[in-house]
Structure 1
């Protein structure tokens, strides 16, 4: 008769395994693993992470973990203090664990503590690896080489509408007091943690479809302290920023070491407020350059007018002096010829006294002819000199008149004479109806005086 095989219940088998494990694994062990999924439950405060080991991107070992509320809170607070990061999915950790077995839930690792220093080194290694890859690919400086317009007014903003940093950014731009106009379009995205990587990349792809509509991209995050910034060391996100077709400006809002995304961006500011101030500086610089150009044009115009007036005066005096000198020389020459003729005639008369009457007549006619010829020459030369002098003076006068008319047309008073007016509010020139409020007191400057008035109603036209 065969002996019946001994049978066991699941409970028996489970208790046996539990007994063996408790006898074999009596202590606590430091184990390295990656948190594939944290499985944190805020209601209870417990976490049940999936712990994995990967090789060449494939999972080669996997355990279920458990971490009670008190242990999790201590470890998470330590992470925040040292790493500025919470315990999260995808992070590699060094854990102090106890091996436990439960008949209902099977084998698991009960996590008693996590060493944040190990994870800090791992995060730093990730940052260094990202930097090395971008430099090896030759794209680390790509975005910095993009040209930012002199007046970057059209901005695609990646942020959260409710973000304090975004609100600060808008406030600084609006309260500059210089009436600069920015065209902003918000592309909302999560700005910290692992979801920020995919969110920001998605919005960059959307902006890249319409790059002609923007001067630059601004990534703005603020109000969250330094927590959750490791996502900005992610290779894919950093590369997307480095190779983006438009200049990328960052105002992520933290005071610690720069992330890779900030390092590869065209311009980085420590806070959204600082970024807004940098943009305003671009506008102010352009204003200053424009004012200098206007002053240079004014000074150059005045210089040209002065030089032309001086040149005309010099030419006029030179022409007058030359005419007088030429006339004087002709008169002297005529006088000498006349005296010479008289002397020759006298000698001839003395030698030929018999033909006195004949010579007298010849002398009379010759003298009259000579005088007439010389008078004709004098009139001819004098007329030519006078005509050229008048023509030269007329040309110079026409040039001066043209310059005077050009300056007069450009003068603000001429613009007002043509029916235009300057409107001022609180001492500043108003250029847009959007800046006016009903009931606001205004000053209107016309050609012949100013008018004080009050705005009753405004109608805004669509922007052209």
Structure 2
């Protein structure tokens, strides 16, 4: 169908349907612009759950809508971001449903190194604002790791350099996680390797590394771009295992260098940071041992000389005993006179005390006490008579108040109360006795269950040597007679007689009667 048909008779211009006109425009645009390259700045970027990417390409005067289908977006080496200057390659097409045209992008790349550096700087500022590069987040590198995990390409010279340097300095166990170190697969594979090493359980079949090394050789900024991706930087910052970044040569810098705990200028330098030199450690240990031995020898020598100096200042033993010996002699000389004086003093005190003990004085005191006792005896009989009469009068008064009928009623009432209390007491006693009997039966069953005889039923035995329980082989060899108790009897073994036929074990006598619990 031609875009412009001949006019019908009587009309000045042909008539088209909307679909016909939209189809014609679509065919013209797709035919004329089937392959175009557009240099522009990325505006709005939208990534819905479908996996497609919708974006705007703009300059200072116009905006072009673009779409990157899911399959193409997953293969892109560089994902578009807002504000990024790019060169997009694709084809123009229309969207008849909204009378719009757009570019279906098949490839997109930064517009030169300047655009990459601008995007890199923007991403660096964003991640630094989140604290991923903060110094307080960085962990110290272990002094001598047992296992080192290396994330790199297994076919390059980098892994050979690392292994060679580790073997020369201090051989360690190395786990290699092979990844792509450039291209579209680089970033996701490196992030998965870091997360995979962190998920290894300590002490498992595959040991968990104590240190990680992310290594790659030098290259252009495009070659190293995978280590600038946000997914890699976040994985390095979230790693619980200390991490050394050794990406590129000394002049190459990537964002993973800022997120890592240490940055090495080269992969070989990373191996040198990971482990010390074994010969240097041995030399240092020998030097420390020699210094310690010398220090101990000098310390012992100084203390020995100090002891000799102190011993010279001490007096002789005879000199130390001269003073006490002299004091003892003087005390011995004064002892007889002191004994005589003490005896004389005691004799004087005894004489003074005996002077007051005369027979007449004692007789007079006895007579006075006897007269006083007789006077009190004469007063006792009338007092007892008066007290007896008063008590009899009080008793008669109380007896007059007591009515035999009331006494009988009170006695009957008390008897009924006593019967009720006796019945309640009997019921309570029976209940308590039954509860205690059940508890006693339960405890007896528990005793039987926990007793050693129940253990014998499960295949065990008790060995006694000379009447005592034997728990060691030495005690069994030393015993003259062994007795082995099984579930159904006892077997006696002696050094001279062969094993005798088992006999039934005598039942243990019942425990002595402990009386009623009440």
Output the TM-score relative to the length of structure 1.
0.48
More contact order relative to length (CA 8 Å, sep ≥ 6): 1
Output the TM-score relative to the length of structure 2.
0.43
